[in-house]
Amino acid sequence: MSRIASILLPMPLPEAFDYAEPEGMELTVGDQVAAPLGPRLLRGVVVGLREAAGGNRPLKPIDRRLDEPRLPANTLEFVQWAARYAVDNPGQVLAIALRGARVPKPKPVRMVRPTGVQPVRSTPARARVQEAAQQQPAPAAELARAAGVSAGVVKGLIDEGVLEVFEIAPEARFDAPDLSRSGSELNASQAAAAGLLNEMVDDGGFNVALLDGVTGSGKTEVYLETAAHALAKDPKAQVLILLPEIALTQAVIGRVAERFGVQPGEWHSEVAPPARRRVWEAVAAGRCSIVVGARSALFLPFANLKLIVVDEEHDGSFKQEEGFIYQGRDLAVVRGKIEQAAVVLASATPSLETLRNAETGRYRWLRLSSRHGVAQLPEIELVDLRTTPPASGCWLSPLLVQAIAETLARGEQTLLFLNRRGYAPLVLCRACGERMTAPDTDSWLVEHRYSGRLVCHLTGFSMPKPERCPHCGAQDSLVSIGPGVERVEEEARMLFPEARISVFSSDTMFDAREARRLVEAMTAGEIDILVATQAAAKGHNFPMLTLVGVVDADLGLRGGDLRAAERTFQLLAQATGRAGRRDRPGKALLQTYAPEHAVMQALKAQDRDAFVAAEMEERELAKLPPFGRLAAVIASGPDLGQLEAFMREMAQAAPNAQGVEVYGPADAPLALVRGRRRKRFLVRADRGVDLSAYMTTWRARVKPPTAIRVSIDIDPYSFL
């Protein structure tokens, strides 16, 4: 044994394991290896090497080095930093970073080439095959097609030794961007922003900028120009564009392909495993210049990452809530720092955390205050449902119905926005009042008329809608309460039977391809009324869309979420911003029972700055983000008594620290999920406190029973 290798395994383990490096293996940090763990051989990554002198215990030797790309040092540093920050096991993060590498390699391709031997018998068909083979090696079937002959002619030449078969491993490669292509013509404001971002790239090193532009101001064109500048400055540079929704990746991929003449690497959960492997390998080898993807693309093994763009940086979808819990926007900034890359955070409604960093000078702040070209921001009206309610059993007010009719008469499009999937969010029994919930879960079952089923959006449980109440047995007593997008679509079809109506939600768009098809149909004017959740409320540009109707503008304001007002403002500003993005004026109607609410008034006046100032003042008084830090501890177990005893033990073990307040334990709002009881702590800390270190210390002081699971969420977004 020459050296000891520390091997990190992609498993929920707290640290790397030590192994003996066999003589002559000559490992390097970042190498992928096969290492024994019990009776199995597992893939792992070398994260450290040291001399073996002084060792007092025998170590298992590494079995072999894998024929796989090496993980760059920056990627390993990022993996380990992210684990420390999130108070999680580094193996959990490594599993995300190796997701593409764990897909089996594609099989070698059998190719045919000439050997120099001449055939015993020559024919015109054989001559054509030889001529085609001389040009470049090709598979036998492709060679036969090129020569216009049958497969038997090629086989005969192989049998005679005139041609030979050989195997090549397919190379993971993406075409280089065509930097000679010009982008869209930028207006003065866009050009100024692009110039400042280009200067940031030229300065080199780590910098962050907030690209703050109203909806339709052309932020995408600006950051694509900066991407072109970064690639022109360094031909080996790599650019990462992060998006919150899979549906948005299709639109941005189209924009990238149009701008650079090539398809970028695509990375998200719906990418097929072979394509995922191709992207992962090409990124590691530096043969993929541009990647467009979801938050997990942050963990790809970039060889030379120079620019990271986080589009719609405010979006809550950048927060990963299960498994390894992290905020993609924040980790993007950290990845930029580790890579010494420029980071661009783009949004029409930036998060308060990002705005605070811009106000204090930590981030550069670039503002685009007007729409591109002749387009103007839409006029926004509040519809007070207390004075102009919908008809009985309906959800669209007379004012909104009239506006839709006028829009259809002009040959223009309408978006009806409701951020609630399914037909109805609640099903209850008229006879006994029983609310239908998922088994062993507090979550209500949502009715879906398309499938005829009741679905739990939390656990995925579904069942046919019963004819009798499961609680009291009453026949035909189950009624649907409240609207979902399917119910709004039903009402729209009843009111406008001649209109072409579609629904855009995760229940109707089963994959990225289907989402792209619907977006293209809407863009082409083939849809008159689009009923949609937030999947269609951001990032899309529909030229003929001039009316947005928000069915339930108050929806996001309910509950005790500290970000409720901020999220509602962001989502509704994004949704209303879909209207009037070309040369036709736009209009948005917000149906609300609380038109006097500060969020509604700010939206009507389109005065984001006033809303942000008021919200910042409230947060500062309470020392809440961005003026303080939060962490959550969620524990769950099948036995309530055992869980309560453990939570009392954990409360007693909480470290005393200045500037830290611990609240709880208390029942989680969803206190029962999949048969497990849930309780939580909420921790508030001053900005100067190392909250991750505090939580790490606290976690180390208690050992939960086997049946109890504990998760820590730094900077929580969900309080369920």
Domain that holds residue 115: 109-168
Angle at Cα 577 formed by Cα 576 and Cα 579, nearest 5°? 80
| Residue 54's CATH number | 3.40.1440.60
The larger pLDDT score, comparing residue 506 to residue 410, is at 410
- pLDDT of 372: 64
What is the DSSP track for 567-606? HHHHHHHHHHTTSS-SSS--EEEEEES-TTSHHHHHHHHT
* Coil/strand/helix, residue 372: coil
Question: Is the model's pLDDT at 458 over the cut of 90?
Answer: no
Question: Is the model's pLDDT at 210 over the cut of 60?
Answer: yes
Question: Is residue 607 domain-shared with residue 636, that is, in the same domain?
Answer: no
Question: Is the model's pLDDT at 226 over the cut of 70?
Answer: yes
Q: Which of 591, 617, 643 is the last residue of a domain?
A: 617
Question: Is residue 193 domain-shared with residue 329, that is, in the same domain?
Answer: yes
Task: Please tell me the pTM assigned to this model.
Answer: 0.88
- pLDDT of 409: 95
Q: Taking Cα atoms as reference points, which of 16, 60, 12, 20 lies closest to residue 36?
A: 60
Whether residue 447 is contained in a domain is answered as no
Using a pLDDT cut of 90, give the percent of the chain over it. 69
Q: Is 108 exposed, middle or buried (0-12, 13-18, 19+ CB in 10 A)?
A: exposed
Question: Is residue 633 domain-shared with residue 596, that is, in the same domain?
Answer: no
CA dihedral for 21, 22, 25, 31, sign (positive or negative): negative
Tokens of 538: 């951001």
Question: Is residue 246 domain-shared with residue 123, that is, in the same domain?
Answer: no
Residues 213-238, mean pLDDT to the nearest whole number? 93
Question: Is residue 141 domain-shared with residue 31, that is, in the same domain?
Answer: no
Q: Which of 557, 590, 617 is the last residue of a domain?
A: 617
DSSP bridge pairs for 361: none
Question: Is residue 229 domain-shared with residue 210, that is, in the same domain?
Answer: yes
Choice among 155-164, 463-472, 560-569 with the minimum mean pLDDT = 560-569
Q: Which of 590, 617, 644 is the last residue of a domain?
A: 617
Question: Is the model's pLDDT at 374 over the cut of 60?
Answer: no
Residues 26-30, mean pLDDT to the nearest whole number? 95
Question: Is the model's pLDDT at 581 over the cut of 80?
Answer: no
The torsion angles phi and psi of 610, rounded to 5 degrees, stand at -65, -40
Using a pLDDT cut of 70, give the percent of the chain over it. 97
Angle at Cα 383 formed by Cα 377 and Cα 386, nearest 5°? 160
Question: Is the model's pLDDT at 574 over the cut of 80?
Answer: yes
Residues 612-639, mean pLDDT to the nearest whole number? 95
- pLDDT of 54: 60
* Coil/strand/helix, residue 183: coil
Choice among 345-349, 401-405, 593-597, 669-673 with the minimum mean pLDDT = 669-673
Question: Is residue 501 domain-shared with residue 591, that is, in the same domain?
Answer: yes
CA–CA gap between residue 447 and residue 424 (Å, rounded): 5
Cis peptide before 119 (omega within 30 of 0): no
CA–CA gap between residue 330 and residue 334 (Å, rounded): 7
Q: Which secondary-structure segment (H or E) carries 199?
A: helix 188-203
> pLDDT tens for residues 648-684?
999 999 999 999 999 999 999 889 998 999 999 999 9
With cut-offs at 50, 70 and 90, classify the pLDDT of residue 56.
low
> pLDDT tens for residues 65-103?
999 999 999 999 999 999 999 999 999 999 999 999 888
Question: Is residue 328 domain-shared with residue 387, that is, in the same domain?
Answer: no
Question: Is residue 639 domain-shared with residue 612, that is, in the same domain?
Answer: no
> pLDDT tens for residues 467-517?
899 989 999 889 988 899 999 999 999 999 999 999 988 777 767 777 778
Question: Is the model's pLDDT at 229 over the cut of 60?
Answer: yes
Q: How many domains does the chain have?
A: 5
* Coil/strand/helix, residue 256: helix
Residues 326 and 577: beta-carbon distance below 8 Å = no
What is the DSSP track for 329-360? HHHHHHHHHHHT-EEEEEESS--HHHHHHHHT
Q: Is 572 exposed, middle or buried (0-12, 13-18, 19+ CB in 10 A)?
A: buried
Across the chain, mean pLDDT equals 91
Length of the chain: 720
